[in-house]
A and B are shown apart, each in its own frame.
Chain A
Amino acid sequence: MIIAQQKPIKDIAEMIADCKKVLLVGCAGCVTVCLAGGEKETEILAAALRIMRRLQDNPLETVTYVATRQCDPEYIATMDNLVKDVDAIISLACGVGVQYIAERYHDKWVVPALDTKFIGGSKVHGVWEEKCGLCGDCVLHRTGGICPIIRCSKSILNGPCGGSQYGKCEISKDVDCAWQLIYDRMKALGRLDKLMEIQPPKDWSKSRDGGPRKAIREDVMIG
């Protein structure tokens, strides 16, 4: 899922400093699961902003709503009647949600409450880790199911580099060396010979380097 984290509240307050009434929109998708922008977080943020503004003698009126998914424009359309009289919309979705809201309500000031961090998972409650680099050309079959693109700090395809020591990456003792993990797993699988193959340069045009990407499935298109 997409992992996001809420921005500092003072930054969010600053974005809507000149507004009297705002709509806060949560999302029931990934950001609910990663506890950043679901119903609970939306209500808490609304309350916090109201308190903050009351203390400044500049009261703020808030309306809250949680969309099923902000990454599907059809779910954004369901809040049309809530948008009309607000000065701004605060989206608690990932960057996709913020943009679809801005696209639909082009005369409204739309701001993000979250920083969209990465694609990852949660092994332990309260800890999320990055697992996929969205490179558009998966290499996991060549690296024992461990992604060197995002889990190696240098995205090295023929690792490990000389900075790997005691299983950790040179950038921090808190970061596992992905190539140590790859080595261990390939060894356990009896496939170390695979690591002797020189992996060719990656085609980054399939990643963001090739420009904004689109996935099209004509067979499921309607109309």
Chain B
Amino acid sequence: MRRAGHRVTRRRTVELRELAHARSGDKGDTANVGLIARRARDYPLLVRQVTARRVARHFAGEIQGPVTRYELPNLHALNFLLHGALDGGGTISLKTDAQGKVFSTALLRLKIRVPR
């Protein structure tokens, strides 16, 4: 589709799990999620769309603290720290997922816009 000289890219929405895989773990009351692009060429798209702010919104109500993001372009990966995610963490936590093992797939539910 072209309009006034601009190319308009058609987009569709997919779940993040189509573009990335992940592993998560814990450090105290903080869960970390390592998010890895399945294909290196999708990494810039993850950097643009899976921002700390977006992830914080995704987990709103599920975690108590802020979200920090680190970039690892060498591994086509992002690392997220979800603070206050584990009800105190370790032995204190009453959660089934006291060690944050499945925050990984919870993040992969995020909706991403990709070119059609």
Q: Are A and B part of the same complex? A: no
A positions within 8 Å CB-CB of B:
none
